[in-house]
Amino acid sequence: MLGKFVKDFFRDKQKPGYGALDIFKYIGPGLLVTVGFIDPGNWAANLAAGSQFGYQLLWIITVSTILLIILQHNVAHLGIATGLCLAEAAVKFTPKWASRTLLFSAMGASVSTSFAEILGAAVALNMLFDIPIPAGALMTFIFVLVLLLTNGYSRIEKFIIAFVSVIGLSFLYELKLVDIDWAQAGIGWIKPSLPEGSIIIVMSVLGAVVMPHNLFLHSEVIQSRQWNREDEKIIRKQMDYELFDTLFSMFLGWAINSAIIILAASTFFQHSIHVEEIQQASGILSPILGTNAAVVFAVALLLAGIASSITSGMAAGSIFAGFFGEPYDIKDNHTRLGVIISLTLAFLVTLFIGNPYHSMIISQMILSIQLPVTIVFQVYLTSSKKVMGKYANKKRTIFLLLLSGGMVIFFNLWLLMSFIL
């Protein structure tokens, strides 16, 4: 009897728990993705949205988050069902020319992302300690690179969860200090509006929330949870827990991004202040909300920059390893080289930019331009029975994914026309 109990106990340890508290053991991969869309690039785009247009562009946070949930949930299923990340699956199941196109463009998007993250942390160091931005960028680059090359995934995940928690609490504190028109904010969240001159900001916010590198990252890190892939019940349970993790994490990201726009709308827009740089935002906050608010703002920005630099570096490692049909493994030279390439190129770019604030907004817009390429490959792979087997997308899911990709392409074309005409 005792022997049977012990045997059953250890067999059950290989299965996800069924209790409410067990669900929280599976939170983590989604938070890594969340860090990617509460990064300094988001801060720049959201501050621009709130300071220039008040509450009117809150709807793009809502729409972007819905698109993000659909896409991230779908790409996580790829990792769970196949044991492959998006980069590996593309190399294995698509022609070489196609997979190379995807991965080269994705590496470019990863560099653009890492640039915004490192630059954001450098700006925060400048705000807190008056460190020149090039020196702050170098410090951030070295710190993140060492952290990535010397720590395993599980330890990094704990850092990320701690950082996200502090960032969230920081904005709760900031919002307590401002007078918010919640009625206008409520309208802004659900009523689409495109004020004159807002298309670049809309595209920047979209690119800052639905980020290509996060699709690669999520399909990779979801596999950090070990399970028996031969047992269909276990796979289904993993997918159920993944949905909770994604919904919880994406809602948290939606709340933080919304808070940045609301903060900018309630302070800068209400006082007719046009924010031109993040340092200016902190300086303006001091007389309006007090010194503590400005310090909290800068600390949160620093944490966001460091945390998102870690995740963008991990994504680059996963993408580059995918060229060789390999998973992310920081002990492997291909993964290490991908991390080093992305962070090094991003750091070098920070040495040649003029206006950090506008550079971050442009970097986010670049992400939205690459995004349709990644979405097309994702939809193809997750809809293929050859790749996914019985877990291939149903027709309804394909429709939602194509609709999501279509919206991104529509905004891209709109942006292009705004420059031509």
pTM for the complete prediction?
0.77
Using 50, 70 and 90 to split pLDDT, how confident is the model at 285? Answer: low
The pLDDT value recorded for residue 140 is 93
Residue 69 in this model has a pLDDT that exceeds 80:
yes
Asked if residues 331 and 149 have their Cβ atoms less than 8 Å apart, the reply is no
The pLDDT value recorded for residue 408 is 75
Question: How far is residue 245's CA from residue 69's CA, in Å, rounded to a whole number?
Answer: 10
How many Cα atoms sit within 13 Å of 363 on the Cβ side? 29
Average pLDDT, the chain: 78
In 3D space, the residue among 112, 27, 117 whose CA is nearest the CA of residue 303 turns out to be 117
Q: Which residue has the tokens 């599980």?
A: 154
Question: How far is residue 59's CA from residue 319's CA, in Å, rounded to a whole number?
Answer: 31
- Measured CA distances, 86 to 98, 167, 257, 390, 405 (Å): 13, 29, 26, 18, 17
Using 50, 70 and 90 to split pLDDT, how confident is the model at 238? Answer: low
Residue ranges of E strands in 284-360: none
Asked if residues 118 and 309 have their Cβ atoms less than 8 Å apart, the reply is yes
Terminal Cα-to-Cα distance of the chain (whole angstroms): 79
Domains of the chain: 81-420 (1.20.1740.10)
Question: How far is residue 135's CA from residue 291's CA, in Å, rounded to a whole number?
Answer: 25
Using 50, 70 and 90 to split pLDDT, how confident is the model at 380? Answer: very high
Mean pLDDT of 268-273: 77
- Measured CA distances, 89 to 102, 103, 240, 346 (Å): 12, 11, 22, 26
